[in-house]
Amino acid sequence: MFNCDDVIQLLTEYVDSELEPDTKALLESHFGACPACDQFLKSFRRTVELTGEFRCEDIPEEVSIRLHSFLEERLRTSDQEGSLDEG
Amino acid sequence: MAETPPIESDKVNPRPLGPLKADNDLPLVERVKEGDHAAFTELVRRYEGKVYQLALRLTGNDMDANDVIQDVFLSVFRKIHTFRGHAAFSSWLYRITANAAFARLNQRKRHAAVSLDDVLPIIEESSMHEVGSEWSQKPDLALFNKETREALESAIQSLPDDFKTVIVLRDIQNLSNQEVAEALNLSIPAVKSRLHRARLVLRRQLGEFLGGPG
């Protein structure tokens, strides 16, 4: 059986579904018998979920335009000078 | 960032056994190596959002993120001939981004980075039997209002760089442990260890913000 300190060490692998079935079953047995660990698990999982809410792959349009303009200028210069090194 | 590898290298720790994902970027990368500017533009369009968001999370401000993405893609164009395909192109790109972001922060002579020793006591003090974990039961609206979002963002920003990078790549950008390991040239156990400790810190700080010791 796990004690509470063992459980805390395994939480990341548990919420990421990376534990072996036997270990997972032991952990879940502990959660069923220990309300404090069960609460800790819920807040731990919620933290991971909330962090994931920041997920975003957008770039502001003006930043993208500035980036492409910058790169086009540098590539054009490199074509004229033959190299981008240390430019 | 003493462990951050040089951007020229895409050598990584040996991959664990398991199926490998095909690197869909390789055809474009090969064209860029041959000097194809259109292929480079396509590669930039494919990744500019992800790179911008990573830079934004790591530097914490728009202005630096803007500069970082310019540095990153210029570096990619200059160094693409050194990319050998030992890791996925995206992992190589994320590593360049992390290096550029931290170089930018160092230029700003930021206050001394928080060390792991500063964070560890918080982790060690974590007890399963603290009261206050009930915050996880609050409704979504209360949990992710503007103030909570800002508190979590601030907690992420205050993590030591090595931990912040792992949290951003793994929990925000949703990369796998293997992809994070490749990007940061770490072993998968090291990624998991940093991820776990960072999550414990964030959970604790969220709990404190939401009205209990967490």
Q: How far is A42 from chain B (nearest CA, A)?
A: 6
For residue B211, give the 3-state DSSP assignment: coil
At B143, the pLDDT band (50, 70, 90 cuts) reads low
Burial B20-56 (b: 16+ CB within 10 A, else e): eeeeebeebbebbeeeebebbbebbebbbbbbbbbbb
Has this prediction a pTM greater than 0.90?
Answer: no
| Closest-approach residue (CA) in chain B for A74 | B74
Q: How many inter-chain contacts (A to B, CB under 8 Å) are there?
A: 124
What pLDDT, in 10s, does the model give residues B144-180?
788 888 999 999 999 998 899 999 999 999 999 999 9
At B2, the pLDDT band (50, 70, 90 cuts) reads very low
Q: How far is B199 from chain A (nearest CA, A)?
A: 7
How far is the CA of B149 from the CAs of B141, B196, B209, in angstroms?
Answer: 11, 20, 11
Residue B193: predicted pLDDT: 95
Mean pLDDT of B76-104: 92
The kind and range of the H/E element at A18 are none
Residue B109: predicted pLDDT: 59
What pLDDT, in 10s, does the model give residues B32-88?
999 999 999 999 999 999 999 999 999 989 999 999 999 999 999 999 999 988 889
The pLDDT of residue B6 is above 60: no
The lowest-confidence range among B16-20, B132-136, B154-158 is: B16-20
Instruction: Give percent of chain B with pLDDT exceeding 70.
Output: 74
Interface of B with A in 38-67 (CB under 8 A): 40-41, 44, 48-50, 52-53, 57, 62, 65-66
Whole-number average pLDDT of chain B = 82
How far is the CA of B167 from the CAs of A39, B57, B68, B73, B79, in angstroms?
Answer: 22, 10, 19, 23, 27
Helix, strand, coil percent content, chain B, rounded in steps of 5: 65, 0, 35
* Option in A8, A43, A57 nearest B49 (CB): A57
Residues of B in contact with A75 (CB under 8 A): 37, 40, 77
Q: Helices (DSSP H) in chain A: which residue ranges? A: 4-9, 11-15, 21-33, 35-52, 61-81
Interface of A with B in 14-33 (CB under 8 A): none
Residue B120: predicted pLDDT: 55
Q: How far is B195 from chain A (nearest CA, A)?
A: 8
Residue B208: predicted pLDDT: 86
Interface of B with A in 173-192 (CB under 8 A): 173-174, 192
| Closest-approach residue (CA) in chain B for A62 | B66
The pLDDT of residue B18 is above 80: no
Contact B1, B162 (CB under 8 A): yes
The pLDDT of residue B5 is above 80: no
Chain centre distance of CA B95:
9
For residue B80, the 8-state DSSP code is G
Q: Is B114 in the A-facing interface, judged by CB distances under 8 Å? A: no
How far is the CA of B38 from the CAs of A35, A61, B34, B71, in angstroms?
Answer: 59, 20, 11, 19
Contact between A70 and B70 using a beta-carbon 8 Å cutoff: yes
Can you list the residues of chain A whose pLDDT is less than 50? 86-87
